[in-house]
A and B are shown apart, each in its own frame.
Chain A
Amino acid sequence: MADQADPARPGALPRSYATTVELSGYEEIREALFSPDLSRTFDTRSYAEGNIRDGIVSTAHGPMHRARRRVENTQFRPDKLRLYEQTLFPAVMADLLDVLLVGDEIDLYRIGEMLASVLASRRAGIDIREHDLDELTTIVEFVDIFSQGAAILDAKDPDAVRERVYAAYERFERDYIRPASERRQAMLDAHARGEIGADDLAHDILTALLQHRVDPSLELGDERRIVREVATYLQGGTHTNGQTVVNAADLLFAALPEQPGILDRVAQDLLFAQRVVHETLRLRPTTPKIRRRTVADTTIVGRSIPADALVVLDIVRGNQEPTLFGADPDRFDPDRTVRRDIPRWGLSFGAGSHICPGRSVAGGFPAPDGPSAAADHIYGLVPLMLQALVRRGIEPVPGRAQERDTRTERFTRWAHYWVRLGSPKGGSFAR
């Protein structure tokens, strides 16, 4: 199943675009994301057959995309989210924070990624030793490479990224996918023989793909697609959560002069922590500009766009539309009032058929307007991580410059974010 750098099919997709259109209004971006005439399969250098993202769900379009999402969305049901959020994650997180939060200068981004990688690995379907820091470091290194691949359109050196990603796929398949597939296929075979029940199967993306791989609508005949698909879920569930927890901390620290009690609120109120994360996502979207290609002549909010146009969706500006987010839309205000039909995170999880499948894992269900949530409310893993870190007293290291990821044009990406432990926050709530 070794991945090869097959040349892209000549002429399969246009190498140039009829025109470039940039949309920046919330409603026009939303309509564009819902439009079936706008595709994510748009660039030969990254997404055509033989390239690093060939055949994965996030770049597919049409019936295969929908068939794949039907199978994979089963892993994001509320009962599974609650199991992860209320049972599995808190225990693992507490254990890991005990060993990770040491030293005078702690890289918050590394911690965020390592925490997120534990559950992202489970959900993707690879088996790791969850308390083994060396193994978590290996996973995070894979995630870093896959993240560069996912953001290749914004990479400063795409050829170097492509080479790294191909090599990583080979190692990832050899060390993780192959052994995990053998274990899961054995379980599926036992299930088919009636020896174990459905509940005894692993509940993860890899199992779901193996279980349904014979379905031709999923187009999983090439096993390398399974490698890439699982890698995508691992990457998506790790990198973005790590970046978001850093961005949330960065915004909270910046807000302290005006709101000195804001960290205590996060420590004491998980619903407020969730609103902080949603406001962070709105202001610091993981993908500041989303791109699409028109597959047909189309119209977006009355604007005609020809086929084969590159459509650039400015999520940052859309998320700061004053008519929806108030007169000060660029201000970090987790308490801002937002219309009930508008997500507090704006368009940062995307919308339409490619909406982020892990949005409820990361950010939970939409936060209610009142001071409390229902008993079965799902808050999301990032608010849980943020609250745990704040309770332990993270604060910036004085005089230490923070480091952005300069390999990408995306301004919301960090390479390192240095904190130290001050006084625990939250009074009796602090551990």
Chain B
Amino acid sequence: MAASVSIDPDYCIGSGDCVRVLPDAFELREDLGVSVPRAAAAETDVDLLVQVASACPTQAIRVVAADGTVLHRSNGG
């Protein structure tokens, strides 16, 4: 199931935890000090995405299912 993944740059602290667990779905932008989703994030297993989002230290990751259901809210909304 395709998902929409976004990261709130105001909350992300660039811990890199998401990149370590799902390197195909996330990457670090060292010039900004934050993680960003890669295109492949949309095709990543949603359970894994939600697991990573739940472990994000600042809850910066938002995961929305293809049908619009919010599977994991970020601190930014």
Do A and B pair up? The answer is yes
A355 touches B10 (CB 8 A): no
CB contacts (< 8 Å) of B51 on chain A: these are 341
Chain B: minimal CB distance from A138 (Å) = 32
For chain A, residues 320 to 366, give those with C-beta under 8 angstroms from any C-beta of chain B.
341, 351-353, 355, 357, 365
A78 at the interface (CB under 8 A from B): yes
Given contacts A36-B75, A70-B34, contact A365 B20 (CB under 8 A): yes
In the complex, which of the residues B11, B28, B34, B57 has the most CB atoms of chain A within 10 Å of its own CB atom? B57
A77 touches B33 (CB 8 A): no
In the complex, which of the residues B14, B16, B20 has the most CB atoms of chain A within 10 Å of its own CB atom? B14
CB contacts (< 8 Å) of B57 on chain A: these are 34, 351-353, 355
A78 touches B20 (CB 8 A): yes
Given contacts A63-B10, A352-B57, A353-B57, contact A73 B15 (CB under 8 A): yes
A70 touches B13 (CB 8 A): yes
Chain A: minimal CB distance from B74 (Å) = 11
B67 at the interface (CB under 8 A from A): no
A74 touches B14 (CB 8 A): yes
One of A74, A352, A365 near B33 (C-beta < 8 A)? A74
Residues 31-49 of B, flagged 1 when their CB comes within 8 A of A and 0 if not, give: 0111000000000000000
Residues 35-70 of A, flagged 1 when their CB comes within 8 A of B and 0 if not, give: 010000000000000000000000000010010011
CA distance A383 to B10 in the complex (A): 35
One of A74, A76, A353 near B58 (C-beta < 8 A)? A353
CA distance A78 to B33 in the complex (A): 15
CA distance A28 to B33 in the complex (A): 30
Given contacts A34-B59, A71-B33, contact A355 B20 (CB under 8 A): no
CB contacts (< 8 Å) of A78 on chain B: these are 16, 20
22 A-B pairs whose Cβ atoms sit less than 8 Å apart in the complex: A34-B57, A36-B75, A63-B10, A66-B10, A69-B13, A69-B14, A69-B15, A71-B33, A73-B13, A73-B15, A74-B30, A74-B33, A77-B28, A78-B16, A78-B20, A341-B55, A351-B57, A352-B57, A352-B58, A353-B13, A353-B57, A357-B15
Sample of 11 more A-B contacts, CB < 8 Å, known A34-B59, A353-B13 = A34-B57, A63-B10, A69-B13, A73-B14, A73-B15, A73-B16, A74-B14, A74-B30, A74-B33, A351-B57, A352-B58
